[in-house]
Structure 1
Amino acid sequence: MQGLVVDFGGVLAGSGSDRAVLTEIIGALRAVGVRSAILSNDPGGPAGAELRGLGNGVLVDEVVLSGDVGMAKPDPRIYRLTADRLGLAPVDCVFVDDLAVNVRGAAASGMVGVHHVDPEATATELRILFDLGQGVPVQW
């Protein structure tokens, strides 16, 4: 696996999220060369500026907002677009979302899907999928 794509609302923010745990794992993965993106069904436009500000290496490499690209999860095309923006094939990416329907859409595009229910469980699953040991230091 060479890419990580995560939803924002419900995974990095909102109910059921623990931003510190998940940003730590994103940082650890980026430190070992994994490309990363946020994929959100945000309406985009001027209100999406804060989310877009997390791209370009601030938290992730790319931010794809459905309102900006004219398609939304679970349409498999948006997952393929996101992988393409990372310079990867969908089969080289893991996608994390709190909604099972979106995880199924990612799987239909070729990505490995992780249904986020608990931040610690998601972080553990990502460490396994990306073969990161528990003691891998986070480098910012």
Structure 2
Amino acid sequence: MTAPAAAALVMDYGGVMTDGPPVATLPERARRAGVPTALLTDARAVPAEVAALFDVVVTGDDGPRKPDPAAFRAAARAVGVPVERCVVVDDEPANLRGAREAGAIVVGHVDAATTVFEVEVLLDLHLE
């Protein structure tokens, strides 16, 4: 069996992580599977309990802001994975376009069930 093309998870905070379970369990599940995770948000700060779910947190104060493709490249660098191997989950179409322009694999968050399924498939997480 070959390794999946996707090797890291980059998630948005507002509108994605705030959607609650089961979306909010994805970072923990990815980390258990050895997949590096990043929270990429334009917010200045996020609750400590949310930040703790991720390997790294990249906020709007850390550099380029979404939807600039450079923001997605910065998140990829922060987890040490080429942007082309990062799954980016966001709910804003402009941000999804920026992530795609950067070369990332995008998942447009509309509902929890679809997002969870797509991330599970792309990162080869065990279905729960």
Partner of residue 35, structure 1: 36
1:107 to 88, 100, 106: 100
With structure 2 as the length reference, what TM-score do the two structures score?
0.88
Q: Distance in 2 between matches of 1:88 and 1:134?
A: 23
Across the two proteins, how many residue pairs are aligned to each other? 123
1:81 aligns with 2:71: no
* TM-fit CA distance, 1:23: 2.4
Question: Which ranges of structure 1 fall in alignment gaps of 5 or more residues?
Answer: 136-140
- Contact 1:52 1:63 (8 Å CA) reproduced: no
Q: Distance in 2 between matches of 1:100 and 1:81?
A: 19
RMSD of aligned alpha carbons: 1.5
1:65 aligns with 2:59: yes
With structure 1 as the length reference, what TM-score do the two structures score?
0.81
- Provide closer, same or farther for how the CA distance between residues 84 and 53 of structure 1 changes in structure 2, counting only shifts above 3 A: farther
Partner SS state of residue 118, structure 2: helix
Structure 1 stretches of 4+ with a deviation exceeding 6 A read none
Question: Which ranges of structure 2 fall in alignment gaps of 5 or more residues?
Answer: 1-5
Q: Distance in 1 between matches of 2:79 and 2:47?
A: 17
More deviation in 69-78 or 2-11?
69-78
Q: Which has the larger radius of gyration?
A: 1
- Residue type at the aligned position of 1:94: V
